[in-house]
Amino acid sequence: MLDIITKNDFSVKPAPVSVELQQEIEQFYFWEAKLMGDRNWESWFTLMSKEIEYWAPIRTTRIMRETEKEYTDKNGFAHFFDDWNMLEGRIRKIMSDVGWSENPASRLRHIVSNVLIWKGAEEGEYDVSTSVITYRNRQERQADIFSAERQDKIRRVDDERGFEVVKRKILLDQSTVLSNNISFFF
Amino acid sequence: MTNAPHTASSKTYTDEDIKNLVDTKTGKYSPEIYTSEELYQLELEKIFARTWICVGHESQLPNYGDFQSAYIGEDPVVVVRQKDNSIRVFLNQCRHRGMRICRVDAGNARAFTCPYHGWAYDSAGNLVSVPMETEAFNDALKKDEWGPKQARVETYKGLIFANWDESAPDLDTYLGDAKFYMDTMLDRVEGGTEVIEGIQKWVIPANWKFAAEQFGSDAYHAGTTSHISGIMAGVPAGTDLSQVQPPTDGLNVYIGNGHACGLFLRNPMFYQVIVGPAVTEYLTQTSYPEAVERIGKERADINLCHMNVFPNLSFLTGINTVRMWQPRGPHEMEIWSFTLVDKKAPDAIKQEWSRNNVRTFSAGGVFEQDDGENWNDIQHVLRGHVAKQQKFNIEMSDHTVRDAEPGYPGKSFADTYGEEAARNIYAHWARMLTTSDFSFLDSVPTLKAAE
């Protein structure tokens, strides 16, 4: 059973990394979360690489022996499956005066934790697993809570961003999304 | 005849009361249809338990034993592929003490075993095993009488429908002229369609009819305010948005039997905003000649048809989103949505189709996320005692209504931005709630096209 669940790149315990690297990467994620909470979506988007693959497969309820089918694959449907251009369109929508799902805007908070770091294939690349609790509150009394694991590939860049996100896979802890929409990002 | 009261509500609707909720002559209707618990219980009984409800697509169940969970109204069902390749739909309820016998979304199984006391049903829904049958029942339990309730099952070009009512007309009669419009998505090319795997499900705190009627009749919100930002998200930065507005060339169609649709004609530019350039090219060039040959130019030129098959199955052809608006009380619905693609389309086109669907018409879609905002705010306002007394307006396009349109079947037509279909959807809804037989359904002539 377990070998089915653990058959992915993020399944083996990571080798220790330096405290400095751990701190540097955590700070990157904390800053990213702050940009989202501050609705500074244009700055947030600069943290995404031009090669970004931003993907949130759909999660289903499965019997134990079919656990490997719990998530849709890349040929399947998804909550997000964007490249840079698609994401850029979303950013323009979310920032526009007529994007009603975010005007008036949601109040968002991303709590990022459980930061696990694996050295990537290339120098300066890292695979990072983070756990995220996202609280979204909007209008008079709408409140949504999302919980997810994010599996990222990030790359060190030589500017003030520090890193950029090359891939993000968002594994939501919901099968039926208990919200009226997903008009923000994880 | 008066409907029996279904709840302890202070109001008990007579048939006359229900008919008076919708006035198609003046185009006024009461929003009580979205809020009344009593009317909601009547809907479950008179609409969902006796019409053809979509429970999926055949390509979701390719092999013997493949199953998925679905709903007919609030009744959970299991949809199972049989050994002889037929499909069965039965209530997801153990006949012993009512426990859910299938507790997952989908899978493959030869048997469904109730986790409570272990009654086991085969994939056809026959009760085949009862623990301690001799010791506990003295072998006297008539197992053949204790299978879960079975629904009638029929399919139309891949879509699976189920109906509890033995007296309801068959699916072909029920769909009637709706098939003509459904074919613009289901039958464009040889081989038909298949599902992109995965059903996205989400919850909107609003009555299911907001969604069903909007997909059936409301091009107005797309052409005006609601989706400007969705259009913006689909074009390069700095594009002149006046060049990509939804067209005015189209129709608002009341098809009959509660089914309705709206068409945008000949506007590939708007297509591009939704399905993206690669799928636009596939639809308007690569596969276009075959589509013209199969379904004719009138339908091959429909660049987006929004449609609702009564009561709760909607499509947007072109982007090919299919959704079931699952009722969850008067104040809430679940949306179950999946994507269809032409089976013979190249893999890269299929993936691009799916990705653009995710981008536009999904819980996070740049179009759909604004729909969720409108419906739930309306529902919230309707908590008000006074707000519930205000009649809503569906008088639009009265001046363009005609009862025929060359090349397009249906009961009545209006121009693109119309509410002729909405008026008839709600009138049909009222008839369904107040009539016990099916004599009022439209008898529909056999389709000429697509043969």
ipTM, 2 dp? 0.94
- CATH for B120: 2.102.10.10
Find, among B343, B370, B394, the residue nearest to B232 by Cα: B370
> Domain check: are B180 and B143 in the same one?
no
| CATH label, A16-172, candidates 3.40.50.1820, 3.10.450.50, 3.40.50.1700, 3.30.365.10 | 3.10.450.50
DSSP state at residue A72? -
Residue B2 lies in a domain: no
pLDDT in tens, A62-81: 999 999 999 999 999 999 99
Q: Are residues B322 and B363 in the same domain?
A: yes
Q: Which of A69, A139, A177 sits opposite B203 (nearest CB)?
A: A177
Rounded to the nearest angstrom, the minimum Cα separation between A29 and chain B is: 23
Mean pLDDT lowest among B28-42, B299-313, B337-351: B299-313
Which domain range does residue B195 map to? 176-434
Q: Is B285 exposed, middle or buried (0-12, 13-18, 19+ CB in 10 A)?
A: exposed
Question: In this structure, is residue B47 part of a structural domain?
Answer: no
On whether both B186 and B230 belong to a single domain, the answer is: yes
Residue in A with minimal Cα distance to B275: A86
Are B137 and B235 contained in the same domain?
no
Mark yes or no for CB contact A180/B204 under 8 Å: yes
Cβ of B108 within 8 Å of Cβ of A60? The answer is no
- Which among B109, B199, B372 has the least Cβ separation from residue A101? B372
pLDDT of B203 > 60? The answer is yes
Q: Is the pLDDT of residue B389 over 90?
A: yes
DSSP state at residue B397: T
Average pLDDT, chain B: 92
Q: To the nearest whole angstrom, how far is the Cα of B113 from the nearest Cα of chain A?
A: 12
Domain check: are B150 and B235 in the same one?
Answer: no
Output DSSP code: residue B402. B
**Which residue, chain included where needed, has tokens 């998530």?**
A71
A109 touches chain B (CB under 8 A): no
Chain B residues in contact with A99 by the CB 8 A cut-off are 229, 370
Residue-level pLDDT at A7: 41
B229 touches chain A (CB under 8 A): yes
B448 to chain A, closest Cα gap in Å: 35
CA proximity to A96, closest of B369, B402, B116:
B369
Between vectors from CA A177 to CA B61 and to CA A102, what angle results, nearest 5°? 130
Instruction: Enumerate the residues of chain B whose CB falls inside 8 A of the CB of residue A140.
Output: 380
Q: Do B325 and B187 sit in the same domain of this protein?
A: yes
Nearest chain B CA: its distance from A154 CA (Å): 23
- Residue A154 — φ and ψ, nearest 5°? -120, 160
User: How high is the pLDDT of residue B449?
Assistant: 36
CB–CB contact A181 B364 (8 Å): yes
pLDDT at B37 over 90: yes
pLDDT tens digits, A136-186: 999 999 999 999 999 999 999 999 999 999 999 999 999 999 999 999 999
Q: What distance in Å separates the CA atoms of residue A6 and residue A3, rounded to the nearest whole number? A: 5
List of residues 6+ apart from A177 with CB closer than 8 A: A79, B200, B201, B202, B203, B363
Residues B189 and B294 in one domain: yes
Write the residue in A62, A77, A79 that is nearest to B197 by C-beta: A77
**Measured between beta carbons, which residues in chain B are less than 8 angstroms from residue A82?**
355, 358-359
Give the pLDDT of residue B249.
83
Residue B7 has pLDDT above 60, yes or no: no
User: Over the stretch A74-106, which tens digit does the pLDDT of each residue have?
Assistant: 999 999 999 999 999 999 999 988 888 999 999
- Which tokens go with A68? 């490997």
Helix H or strand E encompassing A33: helix A19-37
Inter-axis angle of helices B347-360 and A84-95, to 10 degrees? Answer: 20
- Of B89-93, B310-314, B447-451, which range is least confident? B447-451
- Which residues, in sequence order, are CB contacts of B16 under 8 Å at separation 6+? none
* Residues B70 and B184 both lie in one domain: no
Mark whether B356 and B264 lie in a shared domain. Answer: yes
Rounded to a whole number of angstroms, the distance between the first and last alpha carbons of chain B is 43
Q: Would the CB atoms of A79 and B362 count as touching at under 8 Å?
A: yes
Q: What percent of chain B has pLDDT over 70?
A: 94
Helix axes B208-217, B420-434, angle to 10 degrees: 140
Would you state the pLDDT for residue B371? 85
Does the beta carbon of B372 lie under 8 angstroms from any beta carbon of chain A? Answer: yes
pLDDT at B268 (0 to 100): 66
Does residue B357 lie within any of the structural domains?
A: yes
Establish if A64 touches chain B: CB-CB under 8 angstroms.
no
Domain C-terminal end among B121, B155, B189 = B155
- Active site positions of B, annotated: 117, 218, 221, 227, 371
How many angstroms separate the CA atoms of B280 and B83, rounded?
Answer: 39
Q: What is the pLDDT of residues B50-66, one digit of tens each?
A: 999 999 999 999 999 99
Mean predicted confidence (pLDDT) in B87-116: 97
Residue matched to tokens 């890269």: B348
Chain B contact for A101, CB < 8 A? yes
Q: Are residues B184 and B147 in the same domain?
A: no
B105 in reach of chain A (CB within 8 A): yes
Q: How many domains does chain B have?
A: 2
- Residue A91's alpha-carbon distances to B228, B277, B341, in angstroms, are 14, 20, 28
Q: Please tell me whether residues B127 and B199 are part of one structural domain.
A: no
- As a whole number of angstroms, the distance between CA B348 and CA B226 comes to 31
3-state secondary structure of B247: coil
Among candidates B70, B63, B163, B49, which has minimal Cα distance to B123? Answer: B63
Judging contacts by C-beta atoms under 8 Å, the chain A residues touching residue B353 are none
Res. B359 pLDDT band, cuts 50 70 90: very high
The pLDDT of residue A3 is 42
The least confident of B1-10, B69-78, B169-178, B316-325 is: B1-10
Are B374 and B424 in a shared domain? yes
Note the pLDDT of residue B239: 77
Higher-scoring residue by pLDDT: B447, B124: B124
